């Protein structure tokens, strides 16, 4: 089963609108010869429509970093799936560990957000990952199992056809500490078999499972060489288009 590699940049709370547009412009030029890889960037909500307009006709895809699950209403400061879709996004990152850690997002909330995304045709990127403490206590698989089972509870296979799962060990995010090949291999294998157990073999075979956590041009080739790693979700190293392109071109 061949899965198109997915290399995504999560720009987190970096870049003003003009800065985001400029980086997207450079990235688009650098990506003109990129083939058979899905490249995506996720700027802030404010930059989303500006960057989406600047990416028109380009191979680079765009996503949001979050959404709120209600359709509309008196929810000060929140942004709905419809609004994100209308701004031009194709993907949406859901349940990033920073959202779980700083904004109290639970697996149940993540599940509602995935539902809201699917309802408007946004492709969800479900982020999961264990903390250092959970790993040390040998609760990695238990944690991931719960994040996946609860986050994807109640969905039919057809609803999840565009799902991307992003494994991001919390202790590897922004720390420069990448998980070892062996650690990544074991988790991705586990996740693929979990998707099979929860849904079906075909679904598990076709769903992209990407790795995130201190991915850099220097380590991406090794990570992408691991069976069951279908791409990367990149934070810091995606902010500069000239560095990010060396991750996208990992195979060259």
Residue 96: active-site member? yes
43 binds ligand 13P (CB under 6 A): no
Nearer Cβ to ligand 13P, position 12 or 192? 12
Residue 168: active-site member? yes
Nearer Cβ to ligand 13P, position 66 or 214? 214
Which candidate, 141, 143, 9, places its Cα nearest to that of 64? 9
Asked whether the beta carbons of 145 and 113 are under 8 A apart, the reply is: no
Write out the binding residues for ligand 13P, residues 141-200 only, by CB under 6 A.
168, 173-174
229 binds ligand 13P (CB under 6 A): no
Instruction: Tokens for 53, please give them.
Output: 């307009």
Which candidate, 159, 168, 222, 220, places its Cα nearest to that of 191? 168
Nearer Cβ to ligand 13P, position 135 or 203? 135
Residue with the shortest CB distance to ligand 13P: 235
Give the active site residue among 96, 98, 105, 188: 96
- Among left, alpha and beta (phi > 0; psi -120 to 50; other), residue 174 is left
Helix residue spans in 36-139 (DSSP H) = 48-54, 81-86, 97-103, 107-119, 132-136
Active site residues: 96, 168
Interface residue list for ligand 13P (CB under 6 A): 10, 96, 168, 173-174, 212-215, 233-237
């Amino acid at each position: 089963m061949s899965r198109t590699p997915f290399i995504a940049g999560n720009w987190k709370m970096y870049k003003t609108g003009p800065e985001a547009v400029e980086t997207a412009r450079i990235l688009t030029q650098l990506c003109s010869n990129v083939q058979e890889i899905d490249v995506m960037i996720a700027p802030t909500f404010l930059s989303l429509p500006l960057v989406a307009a600047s990416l028109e006709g380009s191979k680079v895809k765009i996503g949001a970093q979050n959404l709120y699950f209600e359709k509309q209403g008196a929810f000060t400061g929140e942004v709905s799936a419809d609004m994100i879709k209308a701004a031009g996004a194709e993907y949406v990152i859901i349940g990033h560990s920073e959202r779980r850690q700083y904004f109290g997002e639970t697996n149940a909330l993540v599940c509602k957000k995935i539902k809201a995304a699917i309802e408007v045709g946004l492709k969800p990127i479900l982020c999961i990952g264990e903390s250092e403490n959970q790993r040390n206590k040998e609760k990695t698989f238990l944690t991931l199992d719960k994040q996946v089972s609860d986050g994807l509870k109640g969905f039919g296979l057809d609803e999840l056809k565009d799902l991307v799962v992003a494994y991001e060990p919390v202790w590897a995010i922004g720390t420069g500490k990448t998980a070892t090949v062996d650690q990544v291999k074991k988790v991705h294998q586990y996740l693929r078999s979990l998707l099979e157990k929860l849904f079906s073999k075909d679904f598990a075979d076709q769903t992209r499972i990407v790795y995130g956590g201190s991915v850099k041009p220097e380590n991406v080739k090794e990570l992408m060489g691991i069976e069951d790693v279908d791409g990367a979700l990149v934070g810091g190293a995606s902010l500069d288009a000239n560095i990010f392109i060396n991750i996208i071109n990992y195979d060259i």
